[in-house]
Every structure is written in structure tokens, then in C-alpha cells.
Structure 1
Amino acid sequence: SAGKNIGVNPLPVATIALSDNSGTNTYDGILCVGDVAILIANGGINYLWNTAEKSREIEVSKAGDYSVTVIDINACTHFAQITIEVKEIPSLNAGPDDEICGTAYELQASINSGIGQWSSPSGNKLRFIPDINSERAMVNTDSYESFTLIWSSVDSYCPASDELTLTFVEPPVAFAGEDQQLNGRFETTLEAETPSIGVGSWSLLSGYGIPDDLQAAQTRVTQLDKGTNLFVWEVQNGICSASDTVALMVSDFFIPQVITPNGDGKNDFFIIDDLETHAPASLLIYNRWGNPVYSSSNYQNNWEGISDKGDKLAGDTYFYALQYANGKVFKGFIVIKR
């Protein structure tokens, strides 16, 4: 009988190449949730995956064993398998953006697994107490500016980070000036310190008075009430504010009711307290019948019971009308005793 030759074809060599850029190590078959890997079969001309796909390359994102049957030109087959692992990405939050009045802030980060770490492009301008791994670290700075802080996972295969912006605002200083004692004066000058930062404004806390300019540190105030008038000087710089209070205390000024012009140096003159602060003040003296006996358009606390004619007025009760430069008028009586 004639012999028959039988040919034996070698089996194809099936391999699976992996392409993944996920996690801290690439091409290792370990993915982070949401990432994909590309599996590439080699060694044949036709391919059949256990996912029922028949292309040479497939994309996968789920954990599991992936196998492929490789078929060569001679219809010979071979098998290859690869395992894909999927890891969770840590859930973390750096906390809300915030503005801070001052130079210290307690951070409010969170992380559901592993260790977090703070960092900032600003480098050593920030200090973290007790350390950079504390979710509730106190962050301190010497600079009034905005900083970006990054909260990152440091021990997870799948990296994650979140960031926030903190703006540190310099607190202003407010000084409303020294308290003032005003004897019979119903106006004065508010004398706050002009702030080096921020914008100031006046407001009335109690009493009464009308400042000329509510935004001026130094400004005239009029129509004060008798007693204590309290004004607040508040300085605002962004979210920061400071305030101080000044008391303007208006007391009744003293107008004597008796003068004794006998040359002994005691009560010789009709003297009005703080007259110079209301100058020029006019004074008119009348006798009991309403006839003027003395007048001055710029009184100098120098009337000693002498009439406009230069005569000594008799001991008696007289009446006066005193008008300040601001138009305020005071009326009363004065007794001359000789």
C-alpha cells in the first residue's frame, strides 16, 4: 500500500498585552474605579474573548479574569488569560473656601480611608499644627493674602486630591479719640485716628449729635445733647471690622447770678465758662424796666457792673441775653451787689 504523509502544525502562542495608565503603577492590571484598560491579544488571526467579543483589542473596566482563544491560519487554537483588579478611589474633601479675619484657621478636611496630607504651592508661608496629616490642622501664616491648599491621599494606590482657597484678611485698628468734657458747648470735633487699612464711619450709639462727614476720622459734630453722647467709630476691612467708642459729655456751663464789683478780686466780673470756645459772643444787659444798660458784640468776660456810659450801675437785679456765635441764645438774671 502507498504511504500517506501527515503534517503536524505547531500551536499558536497566545499572549495578552495590557495597556493601562491607572493608579500609582501602570501596566500592572490594577485599575482605579472609573478607569479602563486595553487588552491586546497576539498570536493568531482570529480571536474569541470570554466576553464574546471577537476583536483583537477590547476595553475592560471591571475586575475579573479575562481570557482569549487565539486561532491561527491553520485553525489551530491556543488560550491565554489575564486578571484585572479594580481598587476604590479614596473619598476626600478639603473643606469649603473661606475668608479669615486674622492669620489662623482650623481646617475642615475629611478622608474615608488611608492618610491625607496637606500641601500648598506657597510652600513655607503656611504652618500646619500639629502636622500636615491632620484633617483638623490649624493653619497659620504671617501673610495677608489668598492661598491654595491641596488635601491629597498619600498611601492609596489610587491617588485623589481636593483643594480649597483661604483668604487671610488683616484686621483693622479703630481708635475713636479721647473722651471730651464740654462745658456748655454743644458742638466739637470728633478726632478718631485715621485707619492705615480699611474704611471708617461714625454712628451714634446714644444721645444726639450730627457729624458733618460720617466717613471722616476728624469731623465736626453739632447739636449735641446735654449729658453723655456716645459715638462709635467703626473701621471695616473686607470681612474684618474693629470699633471704638468716644464719649462727648456736655455739662451745663456756669453763668453767675450774682456779681460783687467791689475790687476785692472775688466775683467782680460777669464771667461765662468756656466763653472763648463760642466766640464771638454778644451780651446785652437790661434793667428791670427793659431798658438796655450795657452791650457788647464780642464779650470778653469783662463786665463789672458798668453801663455803656461808664457809670456804676446801682445794686439791683438786671437781665441778660447772651448769644453764641452759632446763634444759641441764653437768657437769665444777674444781681449786682455793692
Structure 2
Amino acid sequence: MATSLTGARKATVYRVPVANAGPDVEVCGPGVTLAAVPGDGTGLWYFPPQVLQSEPTAYNTTVKIDSAFSTPGVAYKFYWEEKNWLCVDKDSVTVTFYKRVNGIDAGRDTSLMTFDYLIPLKASSPLSHETGEWSVISGSGDFDNIHSNETFVRNIALGLNTYKWTVENGICRLEDLINVNVISLVIPGGISPNGDNINDSLIINGLDLANQIIELTIVNGAGTAVYSTSNRDGNRWQNWDGKNASGIELPEGTYYYMLKVTSPKTGLVVPKSGFIVLKRN
């Protein structure tokens, strides 16, 4: 006896997912937005225990980790799993988190006279895991040590010079600028010490008292030195206010000044002299 069987069965075929967690990345700070590529089925992130905040079902979830790590940077693996029924695939991405750079300072903007075209720079010091570097933004300059926060810059230009101090840790970077305006020495042609706070003393613009040795002598019409001041050997510079060395007011008239500026760094000496009028009224 022959028997014939006919019929059909329905089979559901599930596509095998291919998980793609995205490329490895480096970030500055404790946060990152992951970038898995959605495929077949549903996806789920698996995080290391250092993660404090996340949404594991979102392919582009934003993750925050515990930022209290002692090293310059830390690297963690994040796993993206895609499941389509019983078909599962998993991929990983490595994220490197670097500590941010905080609070740098290139120094205070200044205007000064420099006849040897040389000035010191003093920026904030980088931390042990950070690196620093000087660069010229405008003007000119050659740094004695481009990576030292304290260095000299040579061959600076007259006018405005802008220098940048950059501190880095991995991909973290912070920058600050310092402006150095190199000017010609400006010596007033007269003073009027009458208490009105206008030209009451001889203020010489452009002197770099912190880095140069300055000596000034005032001589009367008879050729007698009546006043002198200097910052040599730690002495305090005092602007001439129309009095002699004993603090007695000098008579009105025309006086002669002799100024000597010395660069301790290069040994160069620049003298300058001229007349100045003392008039109180």
C-alpha cells in the first residue's frame, strides 16, 4: 500500500547581526558619547564599573566615568552587543580619558624698553604629567627653551609681540597669551611737583626695573649732582620729585639727567642724557 504525504512548514530565518561598537577614541575629561552602528536586532552596552552615568540601550549613549583617577589618563573597553533572537554578536571599543588641563597663565602683559631685544618670560608651571610649549603669535622671538615655563626670548621686535603658552596632556590642551609691547624710552621734558598729581615726579616710561640695572643722576646748572637713584644691588628705585638727596626742594630751573641702563643677561650698557625743566607753578 503506497502512502503520499504533502504539506508545508513555515521556517523563520533570523539574520545574524554584526555588531559595530565604533572606532577607538580619545577624549579630554570624564565624558564621552559612544557611537555604535545600529544593525539587526536590539543593542545593549556593557560598561566597566567606573561608569557613573549612562543609558545602556542607546547606541549613541553619553557616558561619564569617575574622574578621580591618579594617572594622566585611563583607558577602558566598552562592549556593544547586538541580539537578533538567538543570534548574538559583540564588538568592543576602547576609550582613553585624559585629565583636563586647568588654570594656566602665560604671564602679565607688559610694556618696556629693551635695547638688547631680550626679555624673560615666566608662565605657570605644568604639572608633572603635562607638557608646555611657547610659540610666537605675532611679532618675533627666539626662545632659549621652548618647553620651559621660565625662559628668555631673544630677537624680539619693536612694537607688539604676542607669545602663546600651551599646556597639553594627551589631547587635552589649554592656551594663554602674553603681550609684550617693546617701546622706545620715553623721558619727560619737565616735571611740576606742586601736589596736583600731574607730572609731580620724573616717570621714565619703558624701564624694565625687574630685569635691568638702572642708574639715574640729576645734575644742576653748576654741574653738581643733586640727586641719584638706582635699583642696583637690590636698592629701591625712587622717581625724582624735584628734591635733592636730603629731601630738600630744589629751585626751579633747568637740570641735566644722566641715565645708564645695563642688561645683566648680555652685559650691554646704554647711556642716555638730556635736559629736564623743574617748574612748580
What TM-score results when the alignment is normalised by the length of structure 2?
0.64
Show CA shifts across 1:252-280 (max 9, x none). 443244589xxxxx999977454744654
Corresponding residue number in structure 2 for 1:192: 123
* 1:163 correspondence with 2:121: no
Corresponding residue number in structure 2 for 1:325: 262
Q: 1:140 aligns with which of 55, 58, 64?
A: 64
- In structure 1, what residue type is equivalent to 2:37? S
- In structure 2, what residue type is equivalent to 1:325? T
Gaps of 5+ in 2: 1-10, 68-72, 193-197, 231-236, 245-252
Spell out the pairing of 1:58-77 with structure 2 (5 A cutoff).
none
How many angstroms does 1:91 deviate by?
2.2
* 1:149 correspondence with 2:81: no
After superposition, the Cα gap between the structure-2 partners of 1:335 and 1:148, relative to the gap in structure 1 and judged at 3 Å, is closer
* 1:247 correspondence with 2:179: yes
**Structure 1 SS opposite 2:58:** coil
Q: Is the 8 A contact 2:43 2:57 kept in 1?
A: yes
Once residues 335 and 114 of structure 1 are traced to their aligned partners in structure 2, the CA distance between those partners, rounded to angstroms, is: 90
Spell out the pairing of 1:214-293 with structure 2 (5 A cutoff).
214-257=146-189, 272=204, 274=207, 276-277=209-210, 279-281=212-214
Q: Which has the higher contact order (CA 8 A, sep 6+)?
A: 2
After superposition, the Cα gap between the structure-2 partners of 1:252 and 1:135, relative to the gap in structure 1 and judged at 3 Å, is same
How many angstroms does 1:211 deviate by?
3.4
Once residues 191 and 252 of structure 1 are traced to their aligned partners in structure 2, the CA distance between those partners, rounded to angstroms, is: 23
Show CA shifts across 1:113-139 (max 9, x none). 21111103x23525323xx11112122
* 1:96 correspondence with 2:23: yes
Sequence identity of aligned pairs in percent?
28
C-alpha RMSD of matched pairs (Å):
4.5
How many angstroms does 1:329 deviate by?
2.3
After superposition, the Cα gap between the structure-2 partners of 1:269 and 1:103, relative to the gap in structure 1 and judged at 3 Å, is closer
How many angstroms does 1:199 deviate by?
0.4
**Structure 2 SS opposite 1:324:** strand
Q: Is the 8 A contact 2:17 2:83 kept in 1?
A: no
* 1:201 correspondence with 2:128: no
Show CA shifts across 1:89-148 (max 9, x none). 21221111111122222222124321111103x23525323xx11112122222451111
Larger radius of gyration between Structure 1 and Structure 2: 1
Q: Is the 8 A contact 1:174 1:233 kept in 2?
A: no
Show CA shifts across 1:167-206 (max 9, x none). 1122213523443333435654323211224101111111
Corresponding residue number in structure 2 for 1:114: 41
Once residues 113 and 38 of structure 2 are traced to their aligned partners in structure 1, the CA distance between those partners, rounded to angstroms, is: 68
Once residues 267 and 100 of structure 1 are traced to their aligned partners in structure 2, the CA distance between those partners, rounded to angstroms, is: 56
- In structure 1, what residue type is equivalent to 2:275? I
How many angstroms does 1:243 deviate by?
0.7
- In structure 2, what residue type is equivalent to 1:206? S
Once residues 218 and 269 of structure 1 are traced to their aligned partners in structure 2, the CA distance between those partners, rounded to angstroms, is: 34
Once residues 53 and 208 of structure 2 are traced to their aligned partners in structure 1, the CA distance between those partners, rounded to angstroms, is: 61
**Structure 1 SS opposite 2:87:** coil
Once residues 233 and 216 of structure 1 are traced to their aligned partners in structure 2, the CA distance between those partners, rounded to angstroms, is: 10
Gaps of 5+ in 1: 1-83, 261-265, 287-291, 307-314
After superposition, the Cα gap between the structure-2 partners of 1:276 and 1:98, relative to the gap in structure 1 and judged at 3 Å, is closer
What TM-score results when the alignment is normalised by the length of structure 1?
0.55
Once residues 142 and 57 of structure 2 are traced to their aligned partners in structure 1, the CA distance between those partners, rounded to angstroms, is: 56
Once residues 249 and 175 of structure 1 are traced to their aligned partners in structure 2, the CA distance between those partners, rounded to angstroms, is: 21
After superposition, the Cα gap between the structure-2 partners of 1:134 and 1:334, relative to the gap in structure 1 and judged at 3 Å, is same
After superposition, the Cα gap between the structure-2 partners of 1:267 and 1:114, relative to the gap in structure 1 and judged at 3 Å, is closer
